[in-house]
Chains A and B, each alone.
Chain A
Amino acid sequence: MTDLIQATSPAPEAGAGPRRRSRSLTGEAMAQLGRSPLVWIALAILVVLAAMAIAPGLFTKVDPQRCILLNSRKPPAYGSWFGFDIQGCDVFARTVHGARASLSVALLATIGSTLIGGVLGLVAGFKGGAIDAVISRVTDVVLGLPTLLGAIVILATLGSSGNGVLRLALVLSVLGWATEARLMRASVLQTREADYVHAARAAGASSIRIALRHVLPNSVAPLLVLATLSLGGYVGTEATLSYLGLGLQPPVVSWGTAISDAQPYLASAPHMLLFPSLVLTVTVLALVLLGEAVRRAFDPRSR
């Protein structure tokens, strides 16, 4: 079963092989990055967020677990910059302390799903045949599985011991890699018919070498676009799971639970929703801007 593809159309012109990565290329990329002011802004934001995640105590002395119901829904004021939420917890303290869980879940889930999806997509697209058929059909099944069902069963199987953030990241990776795999496979299908790949093959390069050296770098761009976007998306997914009652559990504080708890009061106390959402949006913007810039700087074809 040769599933796919032979190159048919003659290449328009020869000689568009991937440029070799070299020190000078890396150096050039770094230099290009350094010239963009947006990159610096994004970096600064991310440094602040990383600091929040690592040492929230630097930003607020208020205990995020100290919630006095009488303070419920109080608007922002001096000393409580973001106001209080429905339980009377300090929104600023909870936003600062929420950075760690939210960012860890998003990062781990993105890394997990991109790795699983990228590897499987690369193998499927590059190998073709029966391997492609099996991987692609498994992908179809995973795409069709409802996240809620998968999440309930996986979370139940893992039990409630251990780290909630890790558990959630694992669930999101296991259920989320399929889109990445489909996209990577499509991209690889296109790249593996490029002239430089044929040239490398003709020159007697090994399959693994071709896959890693030529196909991977030239087909990874869509995957990276998706990954940077998913990073932001996963923060939202965490919130959606909370909305459906499956999110992170106390005492873990996260932006997702804050947003999902505040959403019903959108009309009566918008500040409870506004501030965690704003921080979330800024984070996503910074992450994607930086991701995009890095991708552009290192992509051999985008210059």
Chain B
Amino acid sequence: MKQNRFSLGVAALPFAVACGALVASIAPGQAQAPQPGWVTVSACTPAGPLIPTNTTESCGSDVLQPILAGLVTTDAKTGAIIEDVAESITTSDNKTWTIKLRKGRKFHDGTEVLAKNFVDAWNWAAYGPNGQSNNDWFSVIVGYGDLNPKAPKGEKPPAPATNRMTGLKVVNDHEFQVELSNPVPVFRAQLSYKAFYPMPDSFFADPAAFGRKPIGAGPFQFVSGAPDSGYKLAAFADYAGPAKPSIKGIDLRIYTSREAAYNDLVAGNLDLLRDIPASKLVGDLWKRDLRGRAVTQPRANIQALGMPYTDANPQLLKPAIRQALSMAIDRKAIVDILFNGIGQPATGWVPPGTEGYQPGACGEYCSFNPEKAKALLAQAGGYKGEIKLYYAGDSEVKSAMDAVCNSIQNTLSITCVTSALSDNATFRSYTRSGKVDGLFPSNWTMDYPSIDNALIPLYSKAGTSNRGAYESAAFDALLDKAAKEETSAAIKTYQEAERLLTAEMPRVPLWNPAMTVGHSPKVRSVTLYANGRIDYSALSLKD
């Protein structure tokens, strides 16, 4: 039985390992003593390297935001654009902009923030072969085309002849000039977006190393961290900007689900949770759980229903049917019941809190009116068959989409069926393919708080996120007109353009979600920016 004894040993191996595991399990785990002056904040796994010009999703942005500083920032209280690294930003024609920098602002590696750090960063991000996801932000700058030569049909784009845009000129260490190819009245507001942030010299030597350990000029510096284990950001001693924090550091803990983070907050293991999940808002559960330790803030975001834009479903191309569908949705009931009244029914295509926001831009078409909806539907000749509402199965929109469908079904007596596609990539591929024959949720998060950012990318003919879905000569003409006006006049023109959208309803506005931030008893004075980010400079701790 020699073999048997051998195999007995083999078979006993896993058991021995398991016994070892038990012994180890009795040993106490590393206690996580909270560092004094630090706050633990919920975060999620960044989808890629932490490079600002290549980060377009919120998980990476949450990590980067406290680290970075740009030319301008928004004032948390008023929402106004204020200078940060810039001392002044001036223009006479909305085309040529002169930007002067404050002296003495430093990166976390000790080097001073100079004009070349902006110009180099912008050139690098705009250079086609670098493939940055924020590449198209620079398309308004003269010379962008040279860095992104058009690809001949069916071929790869040729290598650019240069890597510097002619529209950027360094005047001296603390001043540079930007030449735009057409007037952009809101360019100063655009500069608050992180694509325009400066990069230290070390970035260009090794972008990959930067992606693991980003260096900025913001109030917090990167100490350690990885996408799985979370990040530690310490207050930067040499920070001289407008958002100087009183806390000593931020401990970003990675959560794969916000439910888990919520439970940790209730149990006292977390100081700040951005965005309490809707399921916990229902029935005021969170008010009992947190005893009022929560702050609600409207978010610069609009959730809408996308519409098919090809012959895949000709019935849904009819404006009257779209208007009827829009009027059949009881937005208020959905917001009140599913989000517990947090957020507000959308009355237009621009989120509140945005420069240029006008209430009621959508008029009667965005208010719940069953009679008018039925009348419009009848006038359009009715609707045959069922309406499908597609959404990404891995997102959190299911209950809201079910409710939208039920509302349409109950009001118009059209069968409305929701259909989950397996994931976001599948969902986006399908809804952008032109084959989509039903409705689908379509969200827009503002990159910077100005009305043009809610209109141009989505509804203009050349819009970067339009993809031919909507085309209106009158609308485009207004946008062209606004571009030539000075800011306040331009905003009026944009508002006029927004009202034009009611005619065809390229998207049906649903609601503007608000964000509820929960916090521990240890944290005081939680304030949020309009884009939903936490204002760490205002945070203070009880001792």
Does B282 lie within 8 Å of A86, measured CB to CB?
yes
- Is A152's CB within 8 Å of the partner chain B? yes
Interface check B46, CB cutoff 8 A: no
A87: interface (CB < 8 Å)? yes
> Is A72 a contact of B337 with CB atoms below 8 Å?
yes
Query: Digit string of B385-423 for contact with A (CB within 8 Å is 1, else 0)?
Result: 000000011110011001101110110000101111011
Q: How far is the CA of A65 from the CA of B285 in the complex (A)?
A: 28
CA–CA, A68 and B337, complex, Å = 11
Smallest Cβ-Cβ distance to B422: which chain A residue: A152
Q: Which residues of B contact A155 (CB under 8 A)?
A: 422
In the bound complex, residues from chain B placing their C-beta under 8 Å from that of A267 are 280, 285
Contact A269 B282 (CB under 8 A): yes
Q: What are the residues of chain B within 8 A of A88 when measuring CB–CB?
A: 406
A269 to B280, CA, bound (A): 11
Q: Is B277's beta carbon under 8 Å from chain A?
A: yes
**B422 touching A246, Cβ below 8 Å:** yes
CB distance from A175 to the nearest CB of B (A): 15
Q: Are A69 and B407 also in contact (CB < 8 A) when A244-B393, A245-B394, A249-B420 are?
A: yes
Q: Are the C-beta atoms of A69 and B283 separated by less than 8 Å?
A: no
B contact residues around A250 at 8 Å (CB): 402, 405, 417-419
A268 to B337, CA, bound (A): 13
B420 touches A86 (CB 8 A): no
For residue B330, CB closer than 8 A to chain A, the reply is yes
Asked, given contacts A245-B420, A246-B393, whether A68 binds B285 with beta carbons under 8 Å apart, the answer is no
Q: Which residues of A contact B334 (CB under 8 A)?
A: 69
| Chain B residues within 8 Å of chain A by Cβ, number | 33
Q: How far is the CB of B256 from chain A (nearest CB, A)?
A: 13
**A73, CB-defined interface residue at 8 Å:** yes
Bound-state Cα–Cα, A221 to B410, Å: 52
Select from chain A the residue with minimum beta-carbon distance to B402: A87
**B337 adjacent to A265 (CB under 8 Å):** no
Closest Cβ neighbor of A251 among chain B residues: B417
Asked if B398 and A261 make an inter-chain contact with CB atoms under 8 angstroms apart, the answer reads yes
Interchain CB contact (< 8 A) of B419 among A66, A249, A264, A268: A249
Cross-chain contact A69 with B282 (CB below 8 angstroms) = no
Shortest beta-carbon distance from A39 to chain B in Å:
39
Q: Contact at A269–B420, with CB atoms within 8 Å?
A: no
Residue of B nearest to A87 (CB): B402
Interface residues of A, dominant DSSP: loop
Answer yes or no: B338 CB below 8 A from chain A CBs: yes
- Specify which of A69, A160, A249 is in contact with B337 (CB 8 Å cutoff): A69
In whole angstroms, what is the CA distance A246 to B394 when docked?
9
- Asked whether any CB of chain A lies closer than 8 Å to the CB of B500, the reply is no
Contacts A69-B333, A70-B333; is A264 near B279 (CB within 8 Å)?
yes
- Measured CB to CB, the nearest residue on chain B to A148 is B422
Contacts of A203 in B (CB 8 A): none
Minimum C-beta distance from B391 to chain A (A): 9
> How far, in whole Å, are A267 and B409 apart by their CA atoms in the complex?
30
Asked if B282 and A73 make an inter-chain contact with CB atoms under 8 angstroms apart, the answer reads yes
Assembled-state Cα–Cα distance A69/B422 (Å) = 26
B40-61: which have CB < 8 Å to A? none
Contact with B along A228-249 (1 / 0, CB 8 A): 0000000000000000111001
Contact of A249 with B282 in the complex, beta carbons under 8 Å: no
The answer to whether B403 touches A87 (Cβ under 8 A) is yes
Mark B420-437 against chain A: 1 for CB-CB distance below 8 A, else 0. Answer: 101100100000000000
For the complex formed, measure the closest distance between the CB of B467 and the CB atoms of chain A, giving whole angstroms: 23
CA distance A219 to B243 in the complex (A): 73
Q: Which of B495-540 contact A (CB under 8 A)?
A: none
Interface of B (DSSP majority class): helix
* Interfacial chain A residues near B399, Cβ < 8 Å: 86-87, 261
Residues of B near A269 (CB, < 8 A) are: 282-283
**Do residues B283 and A73 form an inter-chain contact, with CB atoms below 8 A?**
yes
- Contact of A53 with B by CB under 8 A: no
- Chain B residue numbers with a CB within 8 Å of A119 are none
Tell yes or no: A67 within 8 A of B by CB: yes
Q: How far does the alpha carbon of A69 sit from the alpha carbon of B395 in the complex, in Å?
A: 21
How far, in angstroms, from A251 to B302 measured CA to CA in the complex? 28
Q: Does A1 contact B (CB under 8 A)?
A: no
A69 touches B420 (CB 8 A): no
**A58 at the B interface (CB under 8 A):** no
CA distance A65 to B419 in the complex (A): 15
**Docked pose: A249 CA to B390 CA in angstroms:** 11
Q: Mark A65-92, 1 if CB is under 8 A from B, else 0.
A: 1111110110000000000001110000
**B311 located at the interface, meaning its Cβ lies under 8 Å from any Cβ of chain A in the complex:** no
Q: Is the CB of B406 within 8 A of A67?
A: yes
- Closest beta carbon of chain B to A5's beta carbon, Å: 12
Interface check B264, CB cutoff 8 A: no
B421 — nearest CB in chain A belongs to which residue? A245
A145 in contact (CB, < 8 A) = no
In Å, the complex CA distance between A86 and B266 comes to: 23
User: Chain A 25-45 against B: per-residue CB contact (8 Å), 1 yes, 0 no?
Assistant: 000000000000000000000
Give B541 Cβ to nearest chain A Cβ, in Å: 29
**For the complex, is B93 an interface residue (Cβ under 8 Å from A)?**
no
Contact of B228 with A by CB under 8 A: no
Q: Which residues of A sit under 8 angstroms from B405, Cβ to Cβ? A: 250
In Å, the complex CA distance between A202 and B176 comes to: 97
Known: A69-B333, A69-B406. A264 touches B259 (CB 8 A): yes
Shortest A48–chain B CB gap in Å is: 29
Smallest Cβ-Cβ distance to A269: which chain B residue: B283
| Residues of B309-352 whose CB lies within 8 A of A | 330, 333-334, 337-338
Task: Tell me which residues across on chain A come within 8 A of B337, comparing CB atoms.
Answer: 69-70, 72
Q: How far is the CA of A78 from the CA of B408 in the complex (A)?
A: 28
| Interchain CB contact (< 8 A) of B283 among A156, A244, A261, A268 | A268
Q: Shortest Cβ distance from B89 into chain A, in angstroms?
A: 45
Per the bound structure, the CA–CA distance linking A69 and B339 in Å amounts to 12
| B403 surroundings in chain A (CB, below 8 A) | 69, 87
Closest to B259 in A: A264
Alpha-carbon distance between A244 and B410 when the two chains are bound, in angstroms? 28
User: Is there contact, CB below 8 Å, between A156 and B422?
Assistant: yes
| Complex Cα–Cα for A2 and B422 (A) | 45
Q: How far is the CB of A254 from chain B (nearest CB, A)?
A: 14
Contacts of B393 in A (CB 8 A): 244-246
Asked if residues B406 and A87 are in contact (CB atoms below 8 Å), the reply is yes
Is the beta-carbon distance between B419 and A160 smaller than 8 angstroms? yes
Which listed residue, B277, B406, B417, touches A264 by the CB 8 Å rule? Answer: B277
B244-300 with Cβ < 8 A to chain A: 259, 277, 279-280, 282-283, 285
Chain B residues within an 8 Å CB radius of A264: 259, 277, 279-280
A246 to B410 alpha-carbon distance, docked (Å): 26
Complex: how many Å from CA A245 to CA B393? 4
Q: Which residues in A have their C-beta under 8 angstroms from that of B277?
A: 264
Closest to A245 in B: B393
Complex A-B: 16 CB contacts under 8 Å: A69-B333, A73-B282, A86-B338, A86-B399, A87-B403, A88-B406, A152-B422, A156-B422, A245-B395, A246-B422, A249-B420, A251-B415, A261-B399, A264-B259, A264-B277, A268-B280
16 additional A-B residue pairs with CB within 8 Å, beyond A86-B338, A250-B417, A268-B283:
A66-B410, A67-B402, A67-B410, A87-B402, A152-B422, A245-B423, A246-B420, A249-B418, A250-B402, A250-B418, A251-B415, A251-B417, A261-B398, A264-B259, A264-B279, A268-B285
Interface residues of B (CB under 8 A from A): 259, 277, 279-280, 282-283, 285, 330, 333-334, 337-338, 392-395, 398-399, 402-403, 405-407, 409-410, 415, 417-420, 422-423, 426
Q: Sorted from nearest, which 6 A-B pairs have the closest CB atoms?
A: A245-B393, A264-B279, A268-B283, A268-B285, A67-B406, A152-B422
